[in-house]
Structure 1
Amino acid sequence: MLKKPLLQYASVVLLTTGLLGSCTTTKKYNALLAQKVRLEKEKADCQSNLSKSNKERTDLSKQVADLTEYRSQLAADTALLGSTLRKTQNLYGDLSNTYDKLIKNHDKLMANSALESSKLSKDLARRDDELKKLSESLTKNRSQLDQLSADLKAREERLNELERILAEKDKAVNALRAKVSNALLGFNSKDLSVDVRNGKVYVSLSEQLLFKSGSTKVDAKGQDALRKLAVALKDQEDVNVVVEGHTDDVPIARGTAGLQDNWDLSVLRATEITRILTNAGLGRTKITPSGRADNVPLDPAKTAEARQKNRRTEIILTPKLDELFQILEAN
């Protein structure tokens, strides 16, 4: 991987020495010096990408932990309501027994004085009112428990469905990555890479694989890679494709035909790649070209190495998540 940059660096040093010995102009010397700076930049980018990937993995782990904790809390709430229901039922039974005893005592005391009978009637009426209120409370609690149980069951079903869809989506993304990687096996890993980020498959193609400097026309080798990618994606009906053109932060040369700045260059390159993919059979309705110019660098350093890394095209493959969005909207 480092052999070619080292050869380029050695070539720059030798060329610089030779040119200085031959009274090279200041302009050529500065150009060679800038190329050396660019070659020193790209090293930092890999560490930045690794840190970003670790952070994304930590965020996903935290989301899974939060969902697990929420599910455990719902189960604990259900257990608490069940315990309350059982206690209420026991109290209801005790009051019913008391009521039966009072009825029996009432029968025995019917022969007693009218005053005692009146007191007993009032006591029975009070107990009957208490029993009625308790019955109403028990009915209300039972209804609430039934509703909570139904809600919990529905949430568990949605959670299980969400987990199933996420697992299927991850499986589909990994299968898509494997299919694309197999289709592009013959290309140098430095010029072409396929990886998964944020649940999407990123196919990153270097400038040297696709274009000559400042050009918007794809070289023959790059066209071959794009056609193979289109063939691999033809049967992927549930995958959206975004073609992003990226440049470095060096302004384009003045007088370049049809181009005012790096925005034009990145957009035209993305459009040209989109045209090749669609001509190779990829559906027009599911592919979108876009130009990012130098606004999304992989490496912000001002070295030749970093700038070479930033001059790239990224083809982003995103599985459709309609089913997942429907579940989230239902929540």
Structure 2
Amino acid sequence: MNFKHLLLGLIIAVILPSCVSKKIYTDLESKYADLKKENRDLMDENTELESSLTKFKNELDQLKKDYEKAIAERDRLERDLEATKTNLATLKESYNALEENSSAAIAENSIKNRELLAQLEAKEQALAAENSRLEELRRQLQDRSERVAELEKVISDKDAAMTKLKNAISSALTNFEGKGLTVEQRDGKVYVSMENKLLFESGSWAVGANGRQAVKQLGSVLADNPEIAILIEGHTDNVPYTGTGALSGNWDLSTKRATAIVNILRENPNINPENLTAAGRGEFAPIATNETDSGRARNRRIEVILTPKLDAISNLLNEID
């Protein structure tokens, strides 16, 4: 459902609350389920990426061990070759000494000489094969090292970009520190949390002047980061909604508040609407106890969750496979 349809639904919900509010709730609930699945997919993808990185590092370590083992085997073969050459030289000297004394000894020595020559040829062939295998291991080691380095760089660049984004948001929203707004970075994402006291009156989803200013300043930073997915989540405490009119409960209220923030962000023409998602979480994702006034105040909030797009990492993993 696009935002024009959602706005039309909200207008109809105000006029016909008894019959349309439930449909809006059902649509938003379905969309939330999709978002929840997308979030799980992103978490699974992040876990898979970390697992792949660990796997490639382990394979790199194994290649290093194989490389060192191959070098040791090559060195052993070279020592054997030198020893064989020494024996051959000794036998040649003996052959020359015996040649004048005994035809039988010469014949025996000739056989041993041929055997040693055959052994020498076999060892040379084995050494050549080992050098070839060693070269292939060296090539695989270099290729895998480059791939792992590329993957680490992409992940590092993503983390650096999110850190830069977090710092830019913190700088843009400095005036709202201590007024119910926090910015933090964890699990590769940036979380902007705004308590309802900054944004809404009790039971309302209309954004106040200070809250609108905070959201518009946040939007000015997001407009410069088109490769970021933006999820806006509305949250409430567990106190049941007792009002009347267009709202059917806390979940409905949290969804309308999230949509209100999306609508303000959409006023910025440089923000791609495809990057925006609104979701209502109701009372079911608290960050504090609902047994105290201060805890309930923390739970009544809007969370803007910023996630980097992982296309580059996925493409690199496909190339490695």
TM-score for both structures, normalised by structure 2: 0.71
Which one of the candidate residues 261, 268, 271 is aligned to 1:273? 261
Alignment of 1:234-273 (within 5 A): 234-253=223-242, 256-273=244-261
For 1:164, the equivalent position in structure 2 comes to: 153
* Distance (whole Å) between structure 1 residues aligned to residue 161 and residue 146 of structure 2: 22
| 1:82-101 map, 5 Å | 82-101=71-90
Q: Mark the CA change 1:97 to 1:227 in structure 2 (over 3 Å): closer, same or farther.
A: same
What letter is aligned with 2:121?
K
Q: 2:131 aligns with which of 114, 117, 142?
A: 142
Q: 1:198 aligns with which of 167, 187, 200?
A: 187
Q: CA deviation at 1:124?
A: 3.5
Could you tell me how far apart the structure 2 residues matched to 1:291 and 1:121 are? 93
Change beyond 3 A, Cα 1:96–1:219: same
Q: Is the 8 A contact 2:63 2:137 kept in 1?
A: no
> 2:202 aligns to what SS in structure 1?
coil
Q: Secondary structure at the match of 2:218?
A: helix
Q: Find out whether 1:287 has 2:287 as its counterpart.
A: no
Q: Paired residue for 2:49? A: none
TM-aligned CA distance change 1:230 to 1:150, over 3 Å: same
Using the TM superposition, give the Cα deviation of residue 75 of structure 1 relative to its aligned residue in structure 2, in angstroms. 4.9
**Residue 257 of structure 2 aligns to which amino acid in structure 1?**
R
Change (3 A) 1:215 1:123: same
**TM-score using structure 1 length:** 0.69
**1:322 maps to which of 293, 311, 315:** 311
Could you tell me how far 1:256 is from its partner in structure 2?
A: 3.4
Q: C-alpha displacement at 1:310, in angstroms?
A: 0.9
**Higher relative contact order, chain-length normalized (CA < 8 Å, sep 6+):** 1
Unaligned runs of 5+ in 2: 1-52
Question: Which runs of structure 2 are paired with 1:98-109 in the superposition (5 Å)?
Answer: 98-103=87-92, 105-106=94-95
- Cα separation, 2, equivalents of 1:280 and 1:270: 17
Q: Distance in 2 between matches of 1:290 and 1:112?
A: 103
Written as runs of structure 1 = structure 2, the 5 A alignment for 1:1-331 is 75=64, 78-103=67-92, 105-106=94-95, 116=105, 118-253=107-242, 256-281=244-269, 282-329=271-318, 330=320
Three-state SS of the structure 2 residue aligned to 1:92 is helix
SS class of match (1:160): helix
Give the whole-Å Cα distance in 1 for the aligned partners of 2:246 and 2:122.
Answer: 85
Distance 1:84-1:228 versus aligned 2 partners, 3 A rule: same
What SS does the aligned partner of 2:279 have? strand
Paired letter, 1:93 = E
CA drift at 1:111:
6.7
Q: Displacement of 1:125 after TM fit?
A: 4.0
Q: Distance in 1 between matches of 2:143 and 2:267?
A: 47
| C-alpha distance in 2 between matches for 1:114 and 1:120 | 10
For 2:247, the aligned partner's letter is: L
Distance apart, 1:86 and its partner CA: 1.9
Kept after mapping to 1: 8 A contact 2:166/2:184: yes
- Distance in 2 between residues matched to 1:133 and 1:257, nearest whole Å: 93
What is the aligned length? 267
The unaligned stretches of length 5 or more in structure 1 are 1-63
Aligned-pair Cα RMSD in Å: 3.2
